[in-house]
Amino acid sequence: MDIREILRQIEAGESDRAISRNLKVDRATVRRYRHWTEQEKLLPGELPSIEVLGQRLKEGFPTAAVPQNVSSVEAYRAIVIELRERGVNVKTVWRRLVERGFEGSVHAVYRFVWQFGREKP
């Protein structure tokens, strides 16, 4: 995506919808850049070099850390692996976990097992 082209079209008075259609980017993305441009007071006027623009973008759009999700099944990993190695199907694994106090859904167990592939872990 060329941020300079988005900024040129914003300066030309194009709507978010038109820019989105022209550049094939989401309207929310265009809206975010329009808002950022107004905050940075970049327009009207000559655009900074791509290096300066890139630096200002990094400062203006800090990357948030991706949340680390831990499966509710993780605490039962050893049991799941042992049962799957013995050939126990996923629904039965879920039942065994429920017997041990697991409160998650059978789908959580399916997703957990899926990370090992369709075969046994």
Average pLDDT over residues 48-77: 77
- pLDDT over threshold 60, residue 79: yes
Rounded to whole angstroms, how far apart are CA atoms 40 and 17? 22
Q: How far apart are CA 63 and CA 30, in angstroms?
A: 18
What pLDDT score was predicted for residue 4?
A: 79
Q: Would you state the pLDDT for residue 86? A: 92
Is the confidence at residue 91, as pLDDT, over 50? Answer: yes
pLDDT classification of 75: cutoffs 50, 70, 90: very high
Q: Which residue has the higher pLDDT, 8 or 117?
A: 8
**Whole-angstrom Cα distance, residue 63 to residue 39?**
18
Per-residue pLDDT band for 121 (boundaries 50, 70, 90) equals very low
- pLDDT score recorded for residue 13: 86
pLDDT band of 1, cuts 50, 70, 90: low
CA distance readout (Å), 97 to 71, 101, 110: 14, 6, 13
Rounded to an integer, the average pLDDT of 71-97 is 93
* Secondary element (H or E) of residue 34: helix 27-40
Distance, in Å, from the CA atom of 84 to the CA atom of 109, rounded to the nearest integer, reads: 11
Say how far apart CA 1 and CA 67 lie, in whole Å: 25
Of 43, 52, 42, 109, nearest in space to 81 by CA: 109
Q: Which structure tokens are listed for 22? A: 């022209």
More confident residue, 15 or 33: 15
Question: In this predicted model, which residue has the larger pLDDT, 102 or 34?
Answer: 102
Q: 10 Å Cβ neighbour count for 13?
A: 7
